Amino acid sequence: MLLPSPPDDKRGPSATRRNPMPSPAATADPVDSSILSARYRATTVGMVALVSLHAFEALAVAAAMPTVAEALDGLRLYALAFGGTLATSVIGMTLAGRWADRHGPARPLWWGLACFVLGLLLAGFAMRMGMLVAGRLLQGLGAGAISVSLYVMVGRTYPEHLRPKVFAAFSAGWVVPSMIGPALSGVIVQHLGWRWVFLAVPLLAIPAGLLLRPALARMQAPATGVADDGRGSIVRWATGASLAALLLYLGGQQQGVPALVCIGVAMLALLFCVHRLLPAGTLRLRRGLPSVIALRGVAAAAFFACEAYLPLLLQRERGLSPSWAGAVLSLGALGWFTGSWLQGHQQRGWSRQQLLRVGTPLMTVGIAATLAVLFTAVPLPVALVGWTLTGFGMGMIYASLSVLTLSLSPPHEQGANTSALQLSEALSVTTALAVSGALFALFVESAPHTGYIMCLAITLGLAAFATVIARRV
Give the start-to-end residue ranges of the domains of the chain.
38-215, 230-277, 282-473
Burial class (CB in 10 A: 0-12, 13-18, 19+), 324: middle
pLDDT at 252: 67
- Distance between first and last Cα of the chain: 17
pLDDT at 231: 52
Q: How many other C-beta atoms lie within 10 A of the C-beta of residue 455?
A: 27
Q: Residue 19 has what DSSP assignment? A: S
CA dihedral for 461, 463, 466, 471, sign (positive or negative): negative
Q: How far apart are CA 363 and CA 395, in angstroms?
A: 9
**pLDDT digits (tens), the chain, 473 positions:** 333 333 334 334 334 334 444 444 544 454 567 898 988 999 999 999 999 998 888 877 777 877 888 888 877 777 677 667 888 888 999 999 989 988 889 999 999 999 999 999 999 999 998 899 899 999 999 999 999 999 999 999 999 889 999 999 998 888 878 777 767 777 888 888 889 989 989 999 999 999 999 999 887 655 554 544 455 578 888 888 888 888 887 776 676 777 778 888 988 998 899 888 899 899 999 999 999 999 999 999 999 888 888 887 887 778 877 767 777 888 888 899 999 999 888 777 788 899 999 999 999 999 999 988 888 888 988 989 999 999 999 999 999 999 999 999 988 888 889 999 999 998 898 888 878 877 777 776 777 778 788 888 899 999 999 999 999 88
257: Cβ–Cβ under 8 A, 6 or more apart, which residues?
Answer: none
Give the 3-state secondary structure of residue 255.
coil
Q: How many residues does the chain have?
A: 473
Which residue spans within 151-284 are E strands per DSSP? Answer: none
Is 3.50.50.60 the CATH number for 282-473? no
- CA 154, 203, 112: angle at the middle one, nearest 5? 45
pLDDT at 79: 65
Instruction: Give the tens place of pLDDT for each residue, 68-112.
Output: 888 888 777 776 776 678 888 889 999 999 899 888 899 999 999
Q: Residue 397 has what DSSP assignment? A: H
**pTM over 0.85, yes/no:** no
> Which of left, alpha, beta for 11 (phi over 0: left; psi -120 to 50: alpha)?
beta
| Whether 396 contacts 359, CB under 8 Å | yes
Q: Do domains 38-215 and 282-473 have the same CATH topology?
A: yes
Q: How many other C-beta atoms lie within 10 A of the C-beta of residue 213?
A: 14
For the domain made up of 38-215, the CATH class stated in words is mainly alpha
Q: How far apart are CA 408 and CA 15, in angstroms?
A: 8
Q: Which CA distances in Å does 401 have to 34, 62, 89, 360?
A: 21, 27, 20, 12
| Whether 297 contacts 427, CB under 8 Å | yes
| Whether 122 contacts 72, CB under 8 Å | no
Residue 362 is which amino acid? L
pLDDT at 473: 84
Q: How far apart are CA 470 and CA 413, in angstroms?
A: 23
139: Cβ–Cβ under 8 A, 6 or more apart, which residues?
Answer: 57, 85, 115, 116, 119, 120, 123
Instruction: Give the tens place of pLDDT for each residue, 310-351.
Output: 887 887 778 877 767 777 888 888 899 999 999 888 777 788
Q: At what angle do helices 78-103 and 129-157 cross, to 10 degrees?
A: 30
Per DSSP, the residues of 50-115 read HHHHHHHHHHHHHHHHHHHHHHTT-GGGHHHHHHHHHHHHHHHHHHHHHHHHHH-SHHHHHHHHHH
- CA 352, 358, 364: angle at the middle one, nearest 5? 130
